[in-house]
Amino acid sequence: MNKEWSLDELYHSYEDAKYKEDKKELEKLTHEISAFSEKLKKSKSEEDNLLEATDYLERYQELVTRLYTYVNLRQTVNTSDGETVNQLNIMDRFISEASKPMTIIQKYLANFDDLSSYLEKYPKLKVYEYYFSILKRDAKYLLSDDTEEVIAKLNISAGAAWNSMQSYLTSSLEVEYQGGLVTLPEIRNLAYSEDSKVRQEAYEAELKALEKIKDAVCFSLNNIKKQVNTICDLRGYESPLDMTLQQSHMKKETLDALLQAIREYLPAFHRYLRHKAKLLGHKDGLPWYDLFAPIGETSNQFTIEEAKDYLMKRFRSFSKDLADMVEEAFDHAWIDFYPRKGKVGGAFCENIPTIKQSRILMNFTGNFSDVVTLAHELGHAYHGMLIQDHLPLNRDYSMPVAETASTFNEAIVMEAAIKEADDREKIALIEGQLQDVTQIICDIYSRYLIESAVFEKSKEGFLFADEISQIMLEAQKEAYGDGLDHKYLHPYMWVVKSHYYSENLSFYNFPYAFGGLFARGLYEKYKMEGEDFLPKYRALLNATTVMSVEDSAKQADIDLEDPQFWRTSLKAYETLIDDFIARS
């Protein structure tokens, strides 16, 4: 079994004849699209234009996705590879050159007269009805063709460059620990150590190392958020949050219902944290370095082969198509498992519909938490599998629903693991699940708070690193309450989390809470309905690229604008907290 992913299904190398051919084709296609956009201004044949425009958009989407995915995946496992940085710059240049003609085409489609009659005439266009409706909605936020082109070109040396700097600094940072040097992902993984001294020393070493890059990274954060604020003002959005919600195909009423329920149930999570602190001998709440301290007796360590067998057993009892996909992921080198210098931290899944596969990045150390993370990322891959047969312009799902299948997978694994465990291990498993849930509730809420504050305060001036750290601490105090010891928080969480540093994707925080609670609600329905639920679940995931968040949820008879749905999910976690406290 391969320990690193293979990208050969895309290209063998930058010298691959197919890679070079596709690069030339993308350059040619970009010029064709530019010429076509000029033709649109003069042409009278609306029907031909509509069909040709859709064809160009499809071809461009397929080609740029294939090329950019390949280069981006290579960059994530070796951020210091100069040739990859060069190829990434070339891809960015192609994309920026296409931005103006693409904007012209999209504006044309958005303002197309009597589009509905053509949708009925051409079945292929009918499939894109939701896509066209979103184009029409978003058209009012598009700027002039020349302005859109300038924004795209400037972004290469602005937001995209600041993003790359944060990624490079955090992935290449060397941390001094016990007389040697380790990577940042390695030191952060020590937070799960069974040795309390190791956890505290690793936490202190991490903070000391991040101190070295905080000033540089704060320039990334400031300039990305200022850029987003500026573009929002130019386009006419009420705020970056308003823009994010529209990009997410989600109503503000849904977010308000979610946050209302979370705030109501925060005291339950504070109660869990205080109890954990008591078990570990702390009197003033839990110090940050013990957030992931294991509780209970468990010696579970997994090899990759054992992780595969474990997951296959649990998923096979749920759904054969999920289990078959997981087996393929392990056996056909979809997964890059181990941390190494130059590789980005954390974990992610990249769906690649052009080859009907996905690629998963892990920093696997063998503990049970890693197995759960692996299940999470495989959920993304399953979601990708269920949308891969959509036409090219119907394959993008929005941020909130992006975490649905992944977190549902976690629920499958954890529920089964707790049921199968003996009394000695049950405490450890319940507490492990509560660790994860606390992250998607308390930690994600703190991230939402700091990003909201930074967006607002960056309008007034530059935020130095220490100011951002203070905002981070206040957000943690509000989200974690008296569950944490306020003398031992993490002022540099804003430095290490890549989610803050996308110039195109703001507020990549509340979707995790959304996904966790949405998935829990779905899982509760599965427990009630059994196999009858599976068609609804697959239909919901399939619909996420062609419907709003709210309409997708209706495939499973769920009203997301009702706080009661979210309360039901949170109540299930509160019951788990009460069980943990009673058992320990």
pLDDT at position 274 is 98
Band (124; pLDDT cuts 50, 70, 90)? confident
Residue 14 backbone phi and psi in degrees, to 5? -70, -15
pLDDT at position 56 is 96
For the cut 80, the answer to whether the pLDDT of residue 41 exceeds it is no
**Beta-bridge partner residues of 357:** 352
Among the residue ranges 11-15, 462-466, 513-517, the one predicted with the least confidence is 513-517
User: Which tokens hold the place of 201?
Assistant: 């020393």
Please enumerate in sequence order all residues whose Cβ is within 8 A of that of 233, keeping only pairs 6 or more positions apart, or say none.
none
pLDDT at position 432 is 85
User: Which tokens hold the place of 216?
Assistant: 């540089």
Whether residue 377 contacts residue 408, with contact meaning beta carbons closer than 8 Å, is answered with no
- Give CA–CA dist 17/300, Å, rounded: 46
Domains of the chain by start residue, with CATH? 17-145 (1.20.140.70)
Answer whether 0.75 is exceeded by the pTM.
yes
Average pLDDT score over the chain: 94
> pLDDT of 86-119, one tens digit each?
999 999 888 888 988 988 898 888 888 788 889 9
pLDDT at position 103 is 84
Residue 358 backbone phi and psi in degrees, to 5? -135, 165
Please enumerate in sequence order all residues whose Cβ is within 8 A of that of 217, keeping only pairs 6 or more positions apart, or say none.
165, 166, 169, 170, 465, 495
User: Which tokens hold the place of 554?
Assistant: 């209706």
> pLDDT of 321-345, one tens digit each?
999 999 999 999 999 999 998 999 8
User: Which tokens hold the place of 340?
Assistant: 């190494």
Band (185; pLDDT cuts 50, 70, 90)? confident
Q: HSE on the CB side for 10, CA within 13 Å?
A: 29
How many other CB atoms sit within 10 Å of the CB of residue 522? 24
pLDDT at position 142 is 85
Q: HSE on the CB side for 30, CA within 13 Å?
A: 18
Mean pLDDT of 488-492: 98
User: Which tokens hold the place of 297?
Assistant: 């007796």
pLDDT at position 44 is 65
Among the residue ranges 39-43, 49-53, 161-165, 558-562, the one predicted with the least confidence is 39-43
